[in-house]
């Protein structure tokens, strides 16, 4: 889990709606047994030519893309496959937050476990961000997790939702597993009163 408190950074936009995790990282890059190097394959099929050379015009291959720490993407970002390789790749590239109008459930869950912040904003704010990036690519915004505020260059402060538990974990850089482990006694008690439904070792 990577700690996140406040971030002031440049943005980059990929405004397409319903970007699925197969686009974020194609399945052929899932044949790995660790998390290293996935950032190089982020948006691979949108980012590289057939011969493997970078598509110059694709935003992540530009200087703006390389400097950005915030990705602004279209609606329902991260739909499809549950692969955690998607947020691993996004963080591996250097992003610390994704702003969209909405996120797919599994992607959102995975991101919150890693400290990649999914920031959901209303359509109007989203549109404003996209326009800002187009007009002034060097624009920076500030994300303040403690106060759940996205601050725009015009001073406007936009609230974004996050559950208190995930927020506390991310602010402190604490893995969620510890909380589960702290309830070991309750889990054992549950197991005593609830008979096992299946024994996979019995077959």
Partner 1 sequence: MANNGQATNDQAQTLFEKIWDRHVVVAEPDNPSVLYIDLHLVHEVTSPQAFTGLREKGLPVRRPDKTVATMDHGIPTTPPHIPISDELVIRQIGQLEKNCEEFGIPLHGLTSPNRGIVHVIGPELGLTQPGMTIVCGDSHTSTHGAFGALAFGIGTSEIEHVLATQCLLQVKPRTYAVRVEGTLPRGVSAKDIILNLISRIGVGGGTGHVFEYMGSTIRGLSMEERMTICNMSIEGGARAGMVAPDDTTIEYVAGRPFAPQGQAWEEAVAGWRQLPSGEKAVFDKEITIDAAKLEPMITYGTNPGMGMYISERIPDPDQVKDVSERQTLAKALQYMGLRPGQSLIGQKVDVVFLGSCTNSRLTDLRLAAALMKGHQVAEGLRMMVVPGSQQVKQQAETEGLDKIFKEAGADWRESGCSMCIAMNGDQLEPGQYAISTSNRNFEGRQGKGGRTFLASPLTAVATAIKGQITDVRTMLG
| Residues found near partner 1 in the complex (CB under 8 A) | 15-18, 20, 22-23, 26-28, 30-35, 45, 50, 74-76, 79-84, 87, 102, 104-106, 109-110, 113-114, 163-165, 176-177, 179-181, 183-184, 186-187, 190-191, 194, 196-203
Q: In what order do the strands lie in the sheet with 149-151?
A: 117-120, 97-100, 70-73, 6-14, 140-144, 149-151, 157-159
Q: Give the nearer residue to partner 1 in terms of CB position, either 9 or 171.
A: 171
**∠ at Cα 90 (33, 52), nearest 5°?**
75
* H or E, element range at 127: helix 123-135
Q: How far is the CB of 112 from partner 1 (least distance, A)?
A: 9
Q: Which of 12, 14, 2 is nearest to 145 (CA)?
A: 2
Determine how many CB atoms are found less than 10 A away from the CB of residue 34.
Answer: 7
Q: Give the nearer residue to partner 1 in terms of CB position, either 136 or 190.
A: 190
Q: Give the nearer residue to partner 1 in terms of CB position, either 102 or 125.
A: 102
Q: How far is the CB of 3 from partner 1 (least distance, A)?
A: 16
Q: How far is the CB of 168 from partner 1 (least distance, A)?
A: 9
Q: How far is the CB of 155 from partner 1 (least distance, A)?
A: 26
Kind of pairing, strands 6-14 and 70-73?
Answer: parallel
Q: Give the nearer residue to partner 1 in terms of CB position, either 155 or 200.
A: 200
> For residue 178, what are its two tokens?
């510890």
């Amino acid at each position: 889990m990577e700690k996140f408190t406040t971030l002031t950074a440049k943005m980059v936009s990929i405004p397409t709606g319903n970007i699925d995790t197969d686009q974020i990282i194609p399945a052929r890059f899932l044949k790995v047994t660790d998390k290293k190097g996935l950032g190089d394959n982020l948006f691979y099929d949108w980012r590289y030519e057939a011969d493997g050379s970078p598509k110059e015009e694709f935003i992540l291959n530009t200087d703006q893309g390389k400097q950005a720490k915030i990705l602004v993407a279209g609606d329902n970002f991260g739909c499809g496959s549950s692969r955690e390789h998607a947020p691993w790749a996004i963080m591996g590239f250097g992003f610390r937050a994704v702003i969209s109008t909405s996120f797919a459930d599994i992607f959102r869950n995975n991101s919150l476990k890693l400290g990649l912040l999914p920031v959901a904003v209303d359509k109007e704010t989203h549109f404003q961000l996209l326009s800002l990036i187009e007009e002034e690519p060097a624009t920076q915004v500030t994300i303040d997790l403690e106060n759940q505020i996205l601050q725009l260059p015009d001073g406007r402060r936009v609230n974004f939702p996050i559950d208190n538990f995930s927020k506390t974990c991310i602010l402190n850089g604490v893995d969620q597993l510890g909380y589960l482990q702290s309830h070991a006694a309750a889990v054992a008690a549950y197991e005593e009163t609830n008979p096992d439904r299946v024994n996979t070792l019995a077959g």
